[in-house]
Amino acid sequence: MTDFGIKEALQKLGVQDINEGTSTGAIHFSNGALIASYSPVDGKLIGKVKATTREDYEKVLETATAAFQTFREVPAPQRGEIVRQFGNKLRELKEPLGKLVSYEMGKSLQEGYGEVQEMIDICDFAVGLSRQLNGQTIPSERPGHVMREQWHPIGVVGIISAFNFPVAVWAWNTALAWICGDVCVWKGSEKAPLCAVACQNIIADVLQQHDLPEGISCIISGDYTVGEMMTTDTRIPLISATGSTRMGRIVGATVAQRFGKSLLELGGNNAIIITPTADLKVVVPGAVFGAVGTCGQRCTSTRRLIIHESVYDKVRDAIVGAYGQLTIGNPLDEKNHMGPLIDHDAVNTYLAAIEKAKAEGGHVLVDGGVLEGEGYESGCYVKPAIIEAENHFEIVQHETFAPVLYLMKYTGGVENAIKKQNAVAQGLSSAIMTNELKEAEKFLSYAGSDCGIANVNIGTSGAEIGGAFGGEKETGGGRESGSDAWKVYMRRQTNTINYSDELPLAQGIKFDL
């Protein structure tokens, strides 16, 4: 792996030579069990981190809670300056951090760089936003009164992120939370723990340079039991959790029981509708990248193509032909389009999904399977599969986090395609390929796509940070990143000020003494 500069990248990020375990966050010593991180690229051990014990967790929360008392008093534009400098550090370290993302998680090097760029972009967005955390003035029905709405920091924000975006999703949350005056405790995925350590090292340097409390940014490590420490903790008013719908049901219910707030980003079952007027030059790259990018392990990955019967054969043949041109291998080699799945459990889930689809009557167009031989020693490399299926198949109704693409026909007008697209439990991302204005507008109307993201003539995958990201139904309803997503990290307060010499009551109520 030295040919791709992994050792040098680890050194630059301060995560080299940690096979004996490194402590995390604000903890300097830990008795937790070691968590080993093996790369799905070659199966080799990268390093180990210490899992967070209950004692460790209490230290982290004490440190974070104390830091909040200081950080909330820092003016928002000054908090924005800290985020700006963090973004600049990310620019300096984009190459090594992108390589670590690619090597530890398995996505292509270009996607690894792209993920770090998302971090940089959200920092830029947050810096400007730090001068725009505006409330509003509201007319009062009472003379000599004025009403105002303002926003205050919410406190400690708990972040639970998934392996597929091991750094960007954390940055989406932290960049906004920090400019809002919050502090963050992050449980990164136990499948990519070194990415979390690297990010903590970067922000810790910035905080230290400005003599700010280290508790502004903390990380904890471990399995779901560590996450439960956060979800049940009344000291954490907001939990932002990214993962499966199954996980989201547990997190949402647990946090709601203590009247906390949840920001849930859960599963997707995303479709592209391809109409008779669709341009194949747009359809093919959009569909193929959506299906095989990150080896099908994006929540926005394309799972279904809903193709009009009049162009079905043409589109099918074009997609199948494009799959024949894909190269699969070491994701750090930029000539490869697709790297490995995250681990052997993911491989088994992928294989089971293909068998389930065939058992339900699906017709395999492009065979799947596990790749073997030189370069595939980790056992995590698989072939992307294409299967003709029906939308009502049980396996099609569920999200498979792997490169399995289902093709199906629709007849009649675009309304029929939209109904088929919406007929799944998830509601994250959706797209339509059309050059017909009426079809595009129907797709975007109140009776159109029921997803949080609806695109025209681009694929389902690859959101920009300027827009709020998230979905409906079993996707959880959360919104991260751009637009007014910052409001979830703050608490709203309505103020009424009486500047008159009288005390009129609302609704004209009389109360004379």
Positions marked active-site: 265, 299
DSSP state of 274: E
Quick one: angle between helices 94-105 and 76-92, nearest 10?
70
Backbone CA torsion sign across 279, 282, 285, 288: negative
Q: Does residue 339 contact residue 351 with C-beta atoms inside 8 Å?
A: no
Q: For 115, list phi and psi in degrees, rounded to 5.
A: -65, -40
Cα 465–Cα 15–Cα 169 angle in degrees, nearest 5? 20
CB atoms within 10 A of CB 230: 27
Helix, strand, or coil (residue 505): coil
Q: Which two tokens stand for residue 493?
A: 């307060």
Is residue 363 packed enough to be buried (19+ CB in 10 Å), middle (13-18) or exposed (0-12)? exposed
Q: Among candidates 131, 70, 138, which has minimal Cα distance to 486?
A: 131
Tokens of residue 416, six digits: 């029929």
Residue 405: which H helix or E strand, with range?
Answer: strand 404-410
Q: Three-class SS of residue 124?
A: helix
Q: Where are the beta strands (DSSP E) in 74-171?
A: 136-138, 145-153, 156-160
Q: Residue 269 in contact with residue 361, Cβ under 8 Å?
A: no
Task: Give the tokens for residue 264.
Answer: 């849930």
Max distance between CA atoms of the chain, in angstroms, equals 91
Counting Cα atoms < 13 Å in the Cβ hemisphere of 493 gives: 10
Q: In sequence order, what are the residues at sequence separation of 6 or more whose Cβ sits closer than 8 angstroms to the Cβ of residue 345?
A: none
